[in-house]
């Protein structure tokens, strides 16, 4: 019986991976205007930079805030980024940005009452996002942050400019 159960859960995992990995938007590269919009959501509305740093490298911009990991080293794919942003991370200080994340079981099958059982309580998100905004954030992260190498002067000037951080902190 046990191996049958194992087989079924493995098959389900494969099915879920395929179901979440192939939305149509993945096929065409995102528009530069969408990437820029994603950056604004990261730096402003989402205040992701407070914990993750303006370039996502983990050098948080607000030292009162929890330490967010370096997203430039993240192994997540686009679907994984979307999941982390929507649902946050249980038992950690990564907040959930989907307004209904814990009202109907859509995130990890949990509801608000279940969150109390974790030693580390997820903080409230500074804002909630529409699904479209989470897509823009994921496009921005995939294009400019995740696995894009460390920030340097050239990359900073090319994209981040005054909206991000101070490019002069990187040698030319």
- Which residues sit at the interface with ligand HEC, rule CB under 6 A? 42, 46-48, 50-52, 65-66, 68-69, 71, 74, 76, 81, 84-85, 89, 92-95, 97, 123, 137
Q: What is the DSSP letter of 75?
A: -
Minimum Å gap between C-beta 56 and ligand HEC is 8
Q: Which is nearer to ligand HEC, 108 or 157 (CB)?
A: 108
Residue number with CB closer to ligand HEC (72 or 167): 72
C-alpha to C-alpha distance for 172 and 167, rounded to whole angstroms: 9
Q: Between 157 and 164, whose beta carbon lies closer to ligand HEC? A: 164
Count of beta carbons in the 10 Å neighbourhood of residue 119: 5
Token representation of residue 57: 């490298």
Say how far apart CA 122 and CA 112 lie, in whole Å: 11
Residue 43 C-beta: closest distance to ligand HEC, Å = 9
In angstroms, give the least distance from the CB of 81 to ligand HEC.
5
Least gap, CB of 60 to ligand HEC (angstroms)? 8
**Angle, helix 131-144 to helix 78-87, in steps of 10 degrees:** 130
Q: Closest CB to ligand HEC among 92 and 152?
A: 92
Residue 106's nearest CA partner among 83, 124, 123 is: 83
CB 57 within 8 A of CB 72: yes
């Amino acid at each position: 019986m046990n191996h049958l159960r194992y087989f079924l859960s493995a098959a389900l995992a494969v099915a879920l991976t395929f179901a979440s990995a192939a939305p149509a938007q993945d096929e065409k590269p995102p528009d530069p205007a969408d990437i820029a919009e994603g950056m604004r959501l990261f730096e402003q509305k989402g205040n992701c930079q407070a914990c993750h740093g303006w370039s996502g490298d983990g050098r948080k911009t607000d030292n009162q805030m929890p330490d967010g990991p370096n997203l430039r080293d993240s192994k997540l794919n686009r679907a994984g980024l979307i999941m982390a942003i929507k649902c946050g991370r249980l038992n950690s200080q990564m907040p959930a940005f989907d307004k209904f994340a814990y009202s109907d079981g859509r995130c990890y099958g949990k509801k608000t009452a279940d969150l109390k059982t974790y030693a580390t309580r997820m903080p409230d998100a500074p804002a909630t996002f529409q699904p479209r905004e989470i897509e823009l954030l994921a496009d921005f992260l995939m294009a400019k942050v995740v696995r894009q190498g460390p920030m340097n002067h050239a990359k900073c000037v090319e994209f981040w400019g005054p909206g991000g951080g101070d490019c002069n902190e990187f040698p030319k």
